[in-house]
Structure 1
């Protein structure tokens, strides 16, 4: 009976079919990170070129993905997951420190992760823009997740008496836009500063949001 080829479910070369499939998927994503993130870019890459870079066939590509857009979507989520994991790990380590030190640890971890590979910044802030309504929804959804992240940390600071109590959603949305824009511009060479200076500026901005002029919280007077 004619139909789509089925992948083998047995062991081959000491690996299961699931392990081989995961390896193929990783190779396609690695190739996508290189071609989309370093050049020629998502819009100038073909399935054939991606498959060649991965050392696999186009038939194998279509066993893992429906289109190049699926590869870009997966990479965008992966890059955001890596950054979120780094930020959460830093907060776990700095959980009992004062607000300014927690914020510094958070942004050092986030910025170091995102900027450790320029291809990640290009995937997240450049290549995904304007591709499709689906990817725009995904981009905005992940940005909303970062907004919730900042709002959660603001709520923790308020509970500890370290920040003024208010609804931080609008401010967090504006702040995330600043973070993304500053890191993109720094990576592109448009900002004459070290990464440490960029982090210090982000921390100052966040503290200014959480502790507006005239707020008289118990911790604000001693930090």
Structure 2
């Protein structure tokens, strides 16, 4: 039914609110099952049972489990960027090393404190399909652009790194955090934060000639 103000409702609650709650329950179910059992081992029926919802309700929201995994992946990435941004802004007037440490601490808080996040982000999102792989690569490139733009705003930065340099940092960031978060024996978190901060500072302080020329352009 539709209320007097034009908002669709069901059982006295706006339909949009009910759908948002439903999607949140499916995301929670997906995070739990994908993050513990693995994407390939999880059926739609298992997701519905975990969420306490029906298959009909699932397919009203998602085309399949891959779309749900993509949404979970995007949520983790967005939260990480939001926290890194907030941390950097909070320490914007501090020493550059403190800014880098705050940013790397915020990233670890967002992605590495829950093993389910680590698995969904660094393991399960890879190799699902060509579409998901393209999405994952696009996400990596988004991070490279984000890092490049963030460094350009630092008052003590003398240059803007190319996106290829930023991509190299993102690759190192992901590899280090994944290894540390999944290792049986691992160094203290402070060591990882310092390591990543040093890499970020090197990127911020390195001199760059800008974006590289296309391959072969030097011969044209």
Q: TM-score, normalised by structure 1?
A: 0.84
1:130 aligned onto 2:150: no
Does the 8 A contact of 1:87 with 1:109 survive in 2?
A: yes
Whole-angstrom CA distance in 2 between matches of 1:75 and 1:189: 23
Structure 1: unaligned runs, 5 residues or longer: 1-8, 214-223
Does the 8 A contact of 2:126 with 2:133 survive in 1?
A: yes
1:88 aligned onto 2:88: no
Does the 8 A contact of 1:154 with 1:168 survive in 2?
A: no
1:108 matched to which residue of 2? 105
- Count of equivalent residues: 200
Whole-angstrom CA distance in 2 between matches of 1:183 and 1:70: 25
Structure 2: unaligned runs, 5 residues or longer: 1-7, 208-220
Other structure's SS at 2:190 match? helix
Work out which of the residue numbers 140, 145, 148 in structure 2 matches 1:143.
Answer: 140
Q: TM-score, normalised by structure 2?
A: 0.85
Pairwise CA distance, 1:156? 2.4
Work out which of the residue numbers 40, 55, 60 in structure 1 matches 2:57.
Answer: 60
Distance 1:191 1:143, change over 3 A: farther
1:171 aligned onto 2:165: yes
Whole-angstrom CA distance in 2 between matches of 1:138 and 1:199: 27
Poorly superposed stretches of 4+, deviation over 6 Å? none
Distance 1:153 1:194, change over 3 A: same
Alignment map for 1:195-206 (pairs within 5 Å): 195-206=189-200
Does the 8 A contact of 1:185 with 1:191 survive in 2?
A: no
Pairwise CA distance, 1:97? 1.7
Instruction: Report the more deviating stretch, 148-157 or 23-32.
Output: 148-157
Work out which of the residue numbers 101, 116, 139 in structure 2 matches 1:119.
Answer: 116
Superposed CA RMSD in Å reads 1.7
2:4 matched to which residue of 1? none
